[in-house]
Amino acid sequence: MTAGAAAFLAYGRQSIADSDIEAVVEALRADYLTTGPMVERFERELAATVGAKEAVVVSNGTAALHLCVLTQDLKPDDVVIVPSITFAASANCVAYCGAQVIFADVDPLTGLITDETFDAALSLIAPSQRFAGVIPVHYAGRPVDIRHISAVARDRGAFVIEDACHALGSKGPQGTIGACTASDMANFSFHPVKTLTTGEGGAITTNDPELARRLRQLRSHGIERDPARFEGLGYGDGDDTGPWVYEMQSLGYNYRLPDINCALGVAQLTRLPWFIERRKALVAAYQAALAQSPLPVSWMPPAAGDDPVFHLFAPRIDFAAAGQTRAEVMAALRKRGIGTQVHYIPVHRQPYWQTRQLSPRELPGADAFYRSTLSLPLYPDMDDADPARVIEALKEVLG
């Protein structure tokens, strides 16, 4: 899409091609609109893309997080560590399951949980409580090095669930995000602004077939349809095992992703290499434009050896040095056709979590990151010249 000089640039948006539309139309004409063959195909191709043995697709990224934690059978005194810079769902999924959250601080330059902030949060868990797991967040697509976190968790019998909603296609020290080489599960979101979209949708990847089986059961009301796994309805005759029989073996949810959405996902997977290429090119253009502009704006380049696919381009801006508030800067950019957003308000500051988190305390890294961050437009259909246009608008606004 050619935006044109005056086109409004949202901070993020979907990229839909004729091939995507054709795939959805074909699915609409097929025999199954839900729980059909496109679900298994999308799962199979997604797993192959990230290098995991299993992928389980669900209705959205929050559902993916919820089911991940639900499989861990948490108790009220169990504690899960979550970084404060993330969307609320990363912590809420623990509350859904009746366990406790302690928030970890983050690197003020990247927004990522670090070995040090993880260890600090871990040290605050009381002896009467159990460290049950950790949910590192690959914020903006920048990979967290989870090797130390994973080693500590495995030594203590705790889980590691990677919140990879921003990070499809990214690679870090542990390899491709989603391959689960140092985690139990990773979850993705396919919301329209993410790297790949199914409209709404999400997925969980894992290398544990039994875990994948349980995830599939939980996403569909806890229902088991395999007679080999039946526990018995209690009739003691053919009504226990007839071809119509199903068993609800656990308390599950309706988190299924329809075939229509999965058809879009399959089509988008074929475009993923281009999505990755475009995002990398646009981030490089932003870096080049910033390097030539004496602005109170900084952006941390990827760590050596990392290969991120950025979902967000979220530099840090010294609003005090510019003599303007963030709200004033956002309004002025909008008048110039530039959409922006803030990712994220630290979750430990949210009213719900202020009274429910364990060991409430100051998290200076998270607060510093929040106060200075601003997400600028980044999506594949942007023109090559758009990053320079955005930075030029920032120069006008920041003076």
Residue with token string 């296609």: 169
In 3D space, the residue among 206, 194, 173 whose CA is nearest the CA of residue 269 turns out to be: 194
Task: Return d(Cα 83, Cα 360) in angstroms, integer.
Answer: 13
Task: Provide CB contacts within 8 A for 263, sequence distance 6+.
Answer: 23, 24, 26, 27, 38, 42
71/145 Cα distance (integer angstroms): 24
Q: How far apart are CA 223 and CA 245, in angstroms?
A: 10
Concerning whether 53 is annotated as a catalytic residue, the answer is: no
Q: Which of 75, 194, 335, 395 is catalytic?
A: 194
Q: Which residues of 154-166 are buried (b: 16+ CB within 10 A; e: fewer)?
A: eeeebbbbbbbbb
Question: Is beta strand 223-224 parallel, antiparallel or unpaired with respect to 78-83?
Answer: unpaired
- What are the phi and psi torsion angles at 203 (to 5°)? -155, 155
The two beta strands, 159-163 and 185-189, are parallel
Distance CA 44, CA 228 (A): 24
CA pair distance 83, 333, nearest whole angstrom:
30
Q: Give the residues across from 254 on adjacent strands.
A: 220
The DSSP output letter for 143 is: P
Q: For the chain, state the CA radius of gyration.
A: 22
Comparing C-alpha atoms, which of 389, 345, 351 is closest to residue 367?
Answer: 345
Tokens of 41: 């195909």
Bond preceding residue 344 cis, omega within 30 of 0: yes
Q: Catalytic amino acids? A: 194
